[in-house]
Amino acid sequence: MTTWQPILLSRVTQPNSEKIATYLDSGGYTGLRKALTMSPDQIIAEVKASGLRGRGGAGFPTGAKWGFIPKDAPVKYLAVNTDEGEPGTFKDRLIVERDPHAILEGVIIAAYAIGAHRAFVYIRGEFFLGVKRWIKAIADAYQYGFLGKNILGSGFDLDLSVHRGAGAYICGEETAMIESLEGHRGEPRLKPPYPAQIGLWGQPTLVQNCETLVNIPHIILRGSQWYASIGTEQSKGPKIFCVSGHVNRPGNYELPLGVTLREVIYEHAGGVRLGRNIKAVIPGGASTPMLTPEHLDVPMAFETLQAVGSALGTGAVMVMDETTDMVEVVRRITSFFVHESCGICTPCRLGGRRMLDSLERIAGGRAAADELAKLDVLMHGISGLTFCPMGTGMCEPVSSGLTRFRDEFEARVRS
Amino acid sequence: MNQQVRGENPKVQPVGSAVIDPGKQAVLLAALYIAQEQKGYLTPEAVERVANRLGLRPGDVYSTASFYTLFRTEPVGHYLIQVCDGLSCYLCDGADRIAGYVGAKLGLKPGETSPDGRFTLEMVQCLASCGTAPAMRVNDQLYENLTPAGIDAIIERLMGEV
């Protein structure tokens, strides 16, 4: 069993973990102090060398993203993505509620590195406690001189405010989030241009996930070499795995990337309930393709999961035992995406609806033999043909379900 | 141009401002939250008030409000019970089962409000409580690791409070 002393979740179980005093007592904001003695270029170089990749789902190299923000732009923004909505994912909620300063320290360092003086937290409207914790953390940070004018005497200014979303999964997509921050419907923009060039109010904008930002102070304090020594070839550092479903000990587990799915499920999450066998595992949230027991020894890393036709996504591991009805699972996930489609792209809006109709016919035993072939045609007209990744994302569970659990689908259609 | 054309026809009155202030537009979601507090949902008058206050068109304000599930344009019960319909809750015997259990106690199906206006029951998307499934929310209070006995206690308390 991998032994790992948590760094991202080191405080979340402590009493009063959300308070600034607790954070300062455990060495909080020393990463910021060190960062402010470095040049922005040095920080970006350090983050690049660490190999850190975004933890919000896409896994884009963080340092490279920071490097895309034009240095000479007079106004730049930073948006902190706390719009955690991918089914199966509950890590950012935990950090915001229990250790908001750990994110905040990363926010200030990131803003300093890209030269942004105005930053925004965009948080899911449903996270009532998280909103309160963010607001309190920011107020305390102003009082201690970590936010506002001339932070810790460095001459760097940064203002930060909290903005509540209002119930829309799509606003976790960076351009939809920008639209929502501007006060509009959360409809994604066509890319390019990327937010790094044209983002919030037309200015260069960095959008970064909470968990990603929590890594930053540790990289600054302990160095990129240390960070890059953790993990695999292309997936560096620790990752929070949100384990749920049919396991004995569901919860958030921080482990180095590269740990096997088997270890996450059996060693850390206590194995499958009632000692049953696994039928399926979703490795990275509802939009990542499903895996089967033969994949249990695959390392949990970006490149290795991609190699077996899935993705690390948000690291949300959903475990389904041998009694699970896979047709119903696929129908439920599709129902989620159809509900959350913003509707701006026809393939996603109408194609998703048609997929759900089809899956409901199959689940209800009302489908003809050619229904599965029809689903394939539909997916061909959705995947990759939308502004944002949601169109592709809604096809992944259906397509992997149809491939890996074909017999269950075939048993439900009329021959 | 448009404003002038409108102005020439006495029957057509300009609505909202011709020039939108991005700063005012940006506070729209926050303003809608405040406007919703009073009645628990956005009345047509509340939408219009927000539009006037921010220099936006009522239609645009309504369009934005209607995009987000937390903004309501219909009355809702004093207690809004939202049962998580996420995959993990379903796998942990929640979702439909919890909704059925709560619904049987209150005589409601998801989407319905009790005739006395005390309770609304509905299904919602993943509440990020997958590690503590099954989950549901009553107004702004989240309840996790739900059991039938736990639900009995919650409903009994709410019944006593109204």
pLDDT digits (tens, 9 = 90+) for A348-390: 999 999 999 999 999 999 999 999 999 999 999 999 999 999 9
- Quick one: B17 and B87 in the same domain? no
| Structural domain count of chain B | 2
- Quick one: B112 and B139 in the same domain? yes
Query: ipTM, 2 decimals?
Result: 0.94
B8-16 mean pLDDT: 56
B152-157 mean pLDDT: 95
A207 close to B (CB below 8 A): no
Whole-angstrom distance, CA of residue A383 vs CA of residue B72: 32
Write down the H helix ranges in B2-147: 2-8, 22-26, 28-37, 44-54, 58-67, 87-91, 96-106
pLDDT number for residue A18: 97
Measured between beta carbons, the chain B residues lying within 8 angstroms of A201 are 22
Last residue of a domain, one of A206, A228, A250: A228
- Quick one: B102 and B45 in the same domain? no
- Quick one: B87 and B38 in the same domain? no
Measured between beta carbons, the chain B residues lying within 8 angstroms of A182 are 22, 25-26
Q: Is A370 inside any structural domain? A: yes
In this complex, the residue of B27, B125, B140 whose CB is nearest that of residue A169 is: B125
- Quick one: B7 and B56 in the same domain? yes
Q: Tell me which H or E stretch contains A253.
A: strand A251-256
User: pLDDT for A229-238, tens place per residue?
Assistant: 999 999 999 9
- Quick one: B55 and B98 in the same domain? no
pLDDT number for residue A68: 97
Q: Does position B10 have pLDDT exceeding 80, yes or no?
A: no
**Any idea what the CATH number is for the domain that residue A287 is in?**
3.10.20.600
Last residue of a domain, one of A202, A228, A254: A228
pLDDT number for residue B14: 55
- Quick one: A98 and A207 in the same domain? yes
Measured between beta carbons, the chain B residues lying within 8 angstroms of A77 are none
B34 close to A (CB below 8 A): no
B91 close to A (CB below 8 A): yes
CB contact under 8 A, A166 and B133: no
**Any idea what the CATH number is for the domain that residue B134 is in?**
3.40.30.10
Q: Does position B9 have pLDDT exceeding 70, yes or no?
A: no
A123-138 mean pLDDT: 96
- Quick one: A44 and A120 in the same domain? yes
- Quick one: A193 and A65 in the same domain? yes
- Quick one: B84 and B128 in the same domain? yes
Across chain B, what does the average pLDDT equal? 90
- Quick one: A128 and A218 in the same domain? yes
- Percentage of chain A beyond pLDDT 70 is 100
Q: Is A12 inside any structural domain? A: no
From its phi and psi, is residue A349 left (phi > 0), alpha (psi between -120 and 50) or beta? alpha
A133 close to B (CB below 8 A): no
Last residue of a domain, one of A293, A321, A349: A321
| Chain A residue at shortest CA distance from B22 | A182
Measured between beta carbons, the chain B residues lying within 8 angstroms of A185 are 63-64, 67
Q: Is A70 inside any structural domain? A: yes
Measured between beta carbons, the chain A residues lying within 8 angstroms of B131 are 90, 242-244, 250-252
Backbone angles phi, psi at A257, to 5 degrees: -60, 145
Whole-angstrom distance, CA of residue A87 vs CA of residue B86: 6
B29 close to A (CB below 8 A): yes
Which one of B50, B91, B92, B137 makes the best mutation probe of the A interface by having the most chain A beta carbons within 10 Å? B91
- Quick one: B30 and B103 in the same domain? no
B124-132 mean pLDDT: 94
Q: Is the pTM of this model over 0.90?
A: yes
Backbone angles phi, psi at A108, to 5 degrees: -65, -40
Q: Is B93 inside any structural domain? A: yes
B111 close to A (CB below 8 A): no
Strand partners, A123: A82, A164
- Quick one: B50 and B7 in the same domain? yes
A320 close to B (CB below 8 A): yes
- Quick one: A95 and A149 in the same domain? yes
Q: At what angle do helices B28-37 and B58-67 cross, to 10 degrees?
A: 80
Q: Does position B81 have pLDDT exceeding 90, yes or no?
A: yes
User: pLDDT for A182-197, tens place per residue?
Assistant: 999 999 999 999 999 9
pLDDT number for residue B16: 54
Confidence band (pLDDT; 50, 70, 90) for A316? very high
pLDDT number for residue B11: 60
- Quick one: A152 and A35 in the same domain? yes
- Determine the straight-line distance between the first and last CA of chain A, rounded to whole angstroms: 48
**Any idea what the CATH number is for the domain that residue B54 is in?**
1.10.10
> A379: closest CA among A401, A363, A409, A412?
A401
In this complex, the residue of A90, A186, A245 whose CB is nearest that of residue B67 is: A186
Last residue of a domain, one of B14, B36, B67: B67
Structural domain for A99, as ranges: 20-228
| Structural domain count of chain A | 3
> A176: closest CA among A362, A166, A215?
A166
- Quick one: A272 and A406 in the same domain? no
Confidence band (pLDDT; 50, 70, 90) for B19? confident
- Quick one: A307 and A358 in the same domain? no
- Quick one: A378 and A251 in the same domain? no
- Quick one: A354 and A389 in the same domain? yes
- Quick one: B148 and B89 in the same domain? yes
Structural domain for B126, as ranges: 79-161
B139 close to A (CB below 8 A): no
Q: Is A1 inside any structural domain? A: no
- Quick one: B53 and B102 in the same domain? no
Measured between beta carbons, the chain B residues lying within 8 angstroms of A249 are none
**Any idea what the CATH number is for the domain that residue A347 is in?**
1.20.1440.230
- Quick one: A62 and A182 in the same domain? yes
Which one of B34, B84, B88, B145 makes the best mutation probe of the A interface by having the most chain A beta carbons within 10 Å? B88
User: pLDDT for A236-293, tens place per residue?
Assistant: 999 999 999 999 999 999 999 999 999 999 999 999 999 999 999 999 999 999 999 9
pLDDT number for residue B4: 43
